[in-house]
Amino acid sequence: MQSQDAAELLISALSLHGSLSGGDETALRDTSFRLHRYARGSAIARAHTSPHESCFVISGLASREIIMPRGARAFVGMYIRGDFVDLHAFLLDSLDHDVVALTEVVMAFVSHTDIGRLIASQTINRLLWRFIAVDAAIQRYWLASMARRKASDRLAHFLCEQYIRMRAQGLVSADGFDLPLSQALLGDVIGLSAVHMNRSIQTLRRTGLLKWEGNTVTISFPRLAELCGFEPSYLNLQRLATSGVDGTCRD
Amino acid sequence: MQSQDAAELLISALSLHGSLSGGDETALRDTSFRLHRYARGSAIARAHTSPHESCFVISGLASREIIMPRGARAFVGMYIRGDFVDLHAFLLDSLDHDVVALTEVVMAFVSHTDIGRLIASQTINRLLWRFIAVDAAIQRYWLASMARRKASDRLAHFLCEQYIRMRAQGLVSADGFDLPLSQALLGDVIGLSAVHMNRSIQTLRRTGLLKWEGNTVTISFPRLAELCGFEPSYLNLQRLATSGVDGTCRD
DNA sequence: CGGATGTTTGATGCGCGTCAAGGTAAGTGG
DNA sequence: CCACTTACCTTGACGCGCATCAAACATCCG
């Protein structure tokens, strides 16, 4: 994996949300990306720092976490291939959260000078801006889910979201996707204790909505979506022909 | 209140986050703002629509709400004077949430064509973009709060945030600010039943951290912040000399 | 083989939702 | 002016959902 591959990945991630001109693509290919590999559990960015570059995920699973005053950590986001994780550093005084590698992760870094140069193109500007807006929409749905759904529905909703987002990146095959997280950690992500996470998983397993073998999760998407009322339009992936709740792919 | 006043308000809101050039200010003053008054409870924008203009709050209190599949509504944001509420409409395919007037509200609307014109200025572009990023940071903290804090701490954290944000807009006097919401509605906002909201309020009242008379809430900010571990840097209002948890204003 | 890491199950208790009733204050019409 | 309504606050009783503590299984690995 090299800098050029990072450019191609970014181009394809941006293209999920809009059409880049030839000039835009050239500008992106002319940008240099610093690649860096992180071991599972290591910090990619730290709260209360002001990095001079921002990064997106090349491979692996990353998360955003807020460290609470008494030391507990709350997960506020989960990021896969193609996700720009901390564009915020470009805009805000300092980061309000940590970014952590949940698995082994490769990240691509772009300097803020380069971002400043890239957004001279209104198209790139809008698309990067849109990344933040989609990320915020997902956060809103997490918040609504946290406030209103009970444990098993929250899990179902999370899995549906993950499924659709991973599918958009071509990371789903036969309704199965990789989720190399322990139940305890996943419980942290959706705000459950390890024990109750386990029980919620079993609830879904018993009704055949979910299989979880090793690191691979296989879901019955339409039934899970129906169960928890998952409605994917907030992900803004319509260009991808995510045609409604049945999740069929036109290909 | 007229279109020019809206421009001045927007200029001052943007100036909380960065310095506008003379040209930027002129461009903003040359923009036309459509003002509209909404009665308490009425919809300002609807989920699943794609408005061709975006709006910010001139006066009153507005909220973002997600209507859940079974009809419950979850609050995912609360907006006061100077807050740009649905810049998202400019970026996303369609709105993922409703925007609702919690009190009588005056909103100022800018057409997306005008926004497209305004963001030709890199400064305005960055500052509008930053609005979304700060909004997202607040959402992250709501999410963390929802996931990890118990009822009374969540209330305390919400009040601290509201206090600091309202103070930044000059809406606080003598540690008191206007919060013309019923306890039941406020419960909805932070994800509590009306009954438990009432009990949480009483918990804070008993220890003298909170007074609530009519529509005016008066808090003992330092003690409340200490209680729930409120740490205001995520609001990105440092320019305002919000110097730490003690909340002193340098003026 | 032992130790580390993760899953599963049981028991117990608290936080908060829910139902229900009573209390207060403001507004409305006769 | 008083009956009546409506909106909101307050308190009690009860039960469910989930956290927590504890311990019994797996796996995997050095």
Tell me the shortest Cα–Cα distance from B85 to chain A, in angstroms: 12
B43 in reach of chain A (CB within 8 A): no
Quickly state the pLDDT bin for B243 (edges 50, 70, 90): very low
* Helices A183-190, A151-168: inter-axial angle, 10-degree rounding: 100
The answer to whether residue A62 is domain-embedded is: yes
Tell whether the model's pLDDT for residue B246 goes beyond 80.
no
Interval B126-141 mean pLDDT: 97
Q: Are residues B22 and B111 in the same domain?
A: yes
The answer to whether residue A248 is domain-embedded is: no
B207 in reach of chain A (CB within 8 A): no
pLDDT on residue A143: 98
Tell whether the model's pLDDT for residue B31 goes beyond 80.
yes
Q: Which of A115, A108, A123 is nearest to A24 (CA)?
A: A123
Tell whether the model's pLDDT for residue B188 goes beyond 80.
yes
pTM given for the model: 0.94
List C-alpha distances in Å: B86 to A168, B32, B129: 26, 17, 12
- Tracing tokens 């322990």 back to the chain, one arrives at A182
Q: Are residues A158 and A238 in the same domain?
A: yes
Q: Are residues B90 and B130 in the same domain?
A: yes
Q: Are residues A119 and A168 in the same domain?
A: no
Q: Are residues A119 and A156 in the same domain?
A: no
Rounded Cα–Cα distance for residues B153 and B132 (Å)? 26
Q: Are residues A196 and A105 in the same domain?
A: no
Domain stop point among B104, B138, B172: B138
Instruction: Name the closest residue (CA) to the C1' of nucleotide D9.
Output: B198
Q: Are residues A116 and A208 in the same domain?
A: no
pLDDT digits (tens, 9 = 90+) for A25-36: 999 999 999 999
Average per-residue pLDDT for chain B: 92
Query: Which among A91, A141, A229 has the least Cβ separation from residue B129?
Result: A91
Q: What CATH number is associated with residue B120?
A: 2.60.120.10
A88 in reach of chain B (CB within 8 A): yes
pLDDT digits (tens, 9 = 90+) for A114-167: 999 999 999 999 999 999 999 999 999 999 999 999 999 999 999 999 999 999
Q: Are residues A16 and A87 in the same domain?
A: yes
pLDDT on residue B247: 41
Tell whether the model's pLDDT for residue A190 goes beyond 90.
yes
Quickly state the pLDDT bin for B1 (edges 50, 70, 90): low
pLDDT digits (tens, 9 = 90+) for B211-240: 998 899 999 999 999 999 999 999 999 776
- In DSSP terms, B14 is beta-bridged to none
Q: What CATH number is associated with residue A190?
A: 1.10.10.10
The answer to whether the Cβ–Cβ distance between B229 and A69 falls below 8 Å is yes
Q: Are residues B90 and B204 in the same domain?
A: no
Domain stop point among B105, B138, B171: B138
Query: Which among A69, A116, A135 has the least Cβ separation from residue B136?
Result: A135
Please, what sign has the CA dihedral across residues A170, A176, A181, A185? positive
**Across the A/B interface, how many CB contacts are shorter than 8 Å?**
131
pLDDT on residue A216: 93
pLDDT on residue A240: 64
Q: Which of B174, B41, B29 is nearest to B110 (CA)?
A: B29
Alpha carbon A228 to chain centroid distance? 20
Q: Are residues B227 and B129 in the same domain?
A: no
DSSP string, A157-195: HHHHHHHHHHHHTT-EETTEEE----HHHHHHHHT--HH
pLDDT on residue B240: 64
Cβ–Cβ under 8 Å, residues B133 and B84:
no
Tell whether the model's pLDDT for residue B245 goes beyond 70.
no
Average per-residue pLDDT for chain A: 92
The answer to whether residue A234 is domain-embedded is: yes
Rounded Cα–Cα distance for residues B236 and B251 (Å)? 18
Quickly state the pLDDT bin for A1 (edges 50, 70, 90): low
B211 touches strand D (CB under 7 A): no
Cβ–Cβ under 8 Å, residues B85 and B95:
no
Tell whether the model's pLDDT for residue A241 goes beyond 60.
no
Q: Count of domains in chain A?
A: 2
The answer to whether residue B168 is domain-embedded is: yes
Cβ–Cβ under 8 Å, residues B164 and B235:
yes
Give the percent of chain A with pLDDT over 90: 88
Domain stop point among B138, B169, B204: B138
The answer to whether residue A251 is domain-embedded is: no
The answer to whether the Cβ–Cβ distance between A132 and B129 falls below 8 Å is yes
pLDDT on residue B238: 78
Q: Which nucleotide is nearest to A197 (CA to C1')?
A: D18
Interval A223-246 mean pLDDT: 79
Among A14, A17, A54, A66, pick the best mutation site for testing chain B contact (most B Cβ within 10 A): A66
Tell whether the model's pLDDT for residue B96 goes beyond 60.
yes
The answer to whether residue B191 is domain-embedded is: yes
The answer to whether the Cβ–Cβ distance between B231 and A69 falls below 8 Å is yes
The whole domain housing A102 covers 3-138
pLDDT on residue A71: 83
The answer to whether residue B161 is domain-embedded is: yes
Give the percent of chain A with pLDDT over 70: 95
Q: Are residues A237 and A165 in the same domain?
A: yes
pLDDT on residue B248: 42
pLDDT on residue B241: 54
Tell me the shortest Cα–Cα distance from A119 to chain B, in angstroms: 9
Among A145, A148, A155, pick the best mutation site for testing chain B contact (most B Cβ within 10 A): A148
Tell whether the model's pLDDT for residue A236 goes beyond 70.
yes
Give the percent of chain B with pLDDT over 70: 94
pLDDT digits (tens, 9 = 90+) for B151-161: 999 999 999 99
pLDDT on residue A246: 42
Rounded Cα–Cα distance for residues B105 and B181 (Å)? 13
Beta-strand relationship, B34-38 and B105-111: antiparallel
The answer to whether residue B247 is domain-embedded is: no
Q: Are residues B166 and B85 in the same domain?
A: no
Among B14, B66, B228, pick the best mutation site for testing chain A contact (most A Cβ within 10 A): B66
When computed from its CA atoms, the radius of gyration of chain A, rounded to whole angstroms, is 18
pLDDT on residue A249: 41
